[in-house]
Amino acid sequence: MSQTAELTLGGKSYELPVIEGSEAEKAVDISKLRGASGLITIDPGFKNTGSTQSAITFLDGEKGILRYRGYPIEQLAEKSNFIEVAYLLVHGELPTQEQLSAFEGSITEQNDIPEEVKTILEGFPKSAHPMGVLSAVISALTAFYPEALNPNPTKEEADKLINGLIGKLPTIISWAYKMAKGESTVAPSKEDDYCTNFLKVMFSKEGEDYKVDPVVVDALNTLLILHADHEQNCSTATVRVVGSSHASLYSAISAGVSALWGPLHGGANQAVIEMLEAIKEDGGDTKKYLAKAKDKNDPFRLMGFGHRVYKNFDPRARIIKKSCDEVLAALNINDPVLDIAKGLEQEALNDEYFKARNLYPNVDFYSGIIYRALGLDVELFTVMFALGRLPGWIAQWKEMREDNAPIGRPRQVYTGATERDYTEVSAR
């Protein structure tokens, strides 16, 4: 039976429909409230606002549940691979063997980038942060593939565009990386699987027989799967809003990369390693840093802790912590920063401040340690997050366009000056 909510204000009441999701989540639909009452709702940071209905990812932050298209993240991270998960997110169902081969084939076939894009990459200073480079170059792709500007592509055209972008991202990332290091670039492979190709274009050098370690491929698949989608977070909401104006997929994804860059979002994985390094340099005194994080007069926050929606353990953090131990053991790496991370986590979990606010380690707390073990520079950690998140952004963009979502355009409560007359200060 459909329910309604009632809002009473100034002696008048308004009936508001209540919608219910497939996991019994309920929401009051206020979309017609302004027309009926002149009222808007206000919710800074959208802390309690649903911007869409979506069938892609289910997340229960109180219980620590995360599922893509109904499949638990734990099962996908253990048994699936990144490209299969990308297909699942974008197309809604797990692929048949035939569908998977066609999807992978189309991604691999389009993994080259135009020579002119290489020239653009060469124009960046070597010190440029790779997230800025990535965002700029993805946006620039519209110039080379103007068909992306068509807001109503056929299914074939949309699939080609989507698969092409998934294919090109590893090449853009690795070429930017190689150029920043002053090394020559390596052409993407047409034979290898997605993760093996990524590792080869990143790490192989001309004339060298680079062997990819299966432990590393496995860890990379796990990490990318864990990052692949996370419902309406800051970058995904950005992708949807930009795409809602019918700007090209490249523009929307470029904006998503920019949103992910910040240390409160994807940039936290870089910030965590920098924080752990700083604690190590400072003698390893974790208590001192916990005290700083609790001090309201100190801007320092414990990076990799806390989450807008998880008020319980982030399920991705559990998987990553285990994977971190396995990868470091398999690669025979002893990273002192891991001991600091584990010590800090234990102290925080037993601390009243963190307990009272339900602050737990999030996905970024341990991911940087694995990325470092895989041989990636700290500035690339957020780029890896973007590589993993790409299929999620695309799936959300595709769902938004297929639902014919209206342009994202919030309202505001104005608090500035009321009308006043202009007085001339200098002649025009």
Q: Which residues are near ligand CMC by CB under 6 A? A: 230, 233, 264-266, 268, 293, 301-308, 357, 359, 362-364
> Least distance to ligand CMC from the beta carbon of 335, Å?
19
Angular region, 207: left φ>0, alpha ψ -120 to 50, beta rest: left
In whole angstroms, the minimum distance from the beta carbon of 302 to ligand CMC comes to: 4
CB 103 within 8 A of CB 87: yes
| Angle subtended by helix axes 315-330 and 364-373, to nearest 10 | 20
Q: Where are the alpha helices (DSSP H) in 145-213?
A: 155-180, 194-203
CB of 12 to ligand CMC, least distance (A): 34
Q: Which of 229, 314, 351, 364 is catalytic?
A: 364
Residue nearest to ligand CMC (CB): 306
CB of 98 to ligand CMC, least distance (A): 34
Between 246 and 294, name the residue whose CB sits nearer to ligand CMC: 294
Based on CB atoms, which residue is closest to ligand CMC, 316 or 401?
Answer: 316
Asked about 307 being catalytic, the answer comes back as yes
Would you say 104 or 229 has its CB closer to ligand CMC?
229
Torsion angle in degrees (nearest 10) through CA of 165, 166, 168, 172: 100
Closer residue to ligand CMC (CB): 118 or 292? 292
Angle, alpha carbons 293-299-302 (nearest 5°): 35
User: Quick one: which H or E segment has residue 20?
Assistant: strand 12-20
Smallest Cα–Cα separation from 235: which of 211, 216, 257? 257
Of the pair 217, 273, the CB lying nearest ligand CMC is at 273
CB of 134 to ligand CMC, least distance (A): 17
Catalytic annotation, pick one of 227, 307, 314, 351: 307
Instruction: State how far Cα 115 lies from the chain centre.
Output: 28
Distances (CA, A) of 36 to 31, 123, 410: 10, 54, 18
Instruction: Tell me the catalytic residues.
Output: 307, 364
